[in-house]
Amino acid sequence: MAGIMSDEAPQRPELRLVHPPPKARKPVVPNQVLGTIIFILTEAMLFSGFISAYAISKASVPVWPPAGQPRLPIETTAVNTVILLLSGALLWYAGRLYKDRPEAVRRPLLAAGGLGLLFVLGQGYEWVQLLAAGLTLQTSAHAGFFYLIVGVHGLHVLGGLGALLLQARKEMAGTMNADGFWAMRLFWYFVVLLWPLLYWQVYL
């Protein structure tokens, strides 16, 4: 009776979880990576438009490139192409290393960035030489396409290089995350793999 009239709060039975809480599921594709993929697809369409317009212009004239204009430096650009491909291969290697030995990523990452920078400098030097030789946007449709396509690709390389250097900085600070690194690698692979196609179309 005393128990019934007591002011004490009734004891609640202890609650126990029978099942463990559900694990938070990893996203199938991280947001950064998915965003980069969508961006790459839009950029692929942009370059496809350029290449298509180039192909039609090429088919419209009997002689391509037009006679009498400075010749594009096929050989030095071939070397530059190899440099960019090597940069992509090094980044791919860095990505492989990141899974097992993240501390070993720095060297191939910086080397890939260095080769990317070398490519941009090589292309810049080529442009200076061509402009000095008198090849400008106004020289011909071929020259216009050359500066447009190679220039837009160069801007993409610079953007990719910025992302690469940002990741390198994060790696040095110990704040690099797998998703950001993956997204950056994807963009760099796009820029690297696109170039041989552009080289084949524009230079050869």
Partner 1 sequence: MMWLWNGTALACAVCGGQDTEAVRQAFIDTTIFLSLLPLGAMGGVGIWIWRRSQQMELEEAREG
Residues 36 to 95 in contact with partner 1, rule: CB under 8 A: 37, 41, 44-45, 48-49, 51-62
Taking the complex as a whole, how short is the minimal distance between the CB of residue 139 and partner 1, in angstroms? 8
Q: Which stretch binds partner 1 (CB under 8 A): 73-81, 95-103, 124-132, 142-150?
A: 142-150
x-or-dash string of contact with partner 1, 89-128, rule CB under 8 A:
----------------------------------------
Taking the complex as a whole, how short is the minimal distance between the CB of residue 55 and partner 1, in angstroms? 5
Question: Is residue 28 close enough to count as binding partner 1 by CB under 8 A?
Answer: yes
Place of tokens 């997204």: 183
Find the binder of partner 1 among 140, 156, 180, 190 (CB under 8 A): 140
Residue with Cβ nearer partner 1 (33 or 168): 33
Residue with Cβ nearer partner 1 (145 or 199): 145
- Beta carbons within 8 Å of 21's beta carbon, 6+ residues apart: none
Backbone conformation region of residue 24, classed left if phi is above 0, alpha if psi is from -120 to 50, else beta: beta
Give the binding site for partner 1 (CB under 8 A).
25-26, 28-29, 37, 41, 44-45, 48-49, 51-62, 137-138, 140-141, 143-145, 147-148, 151
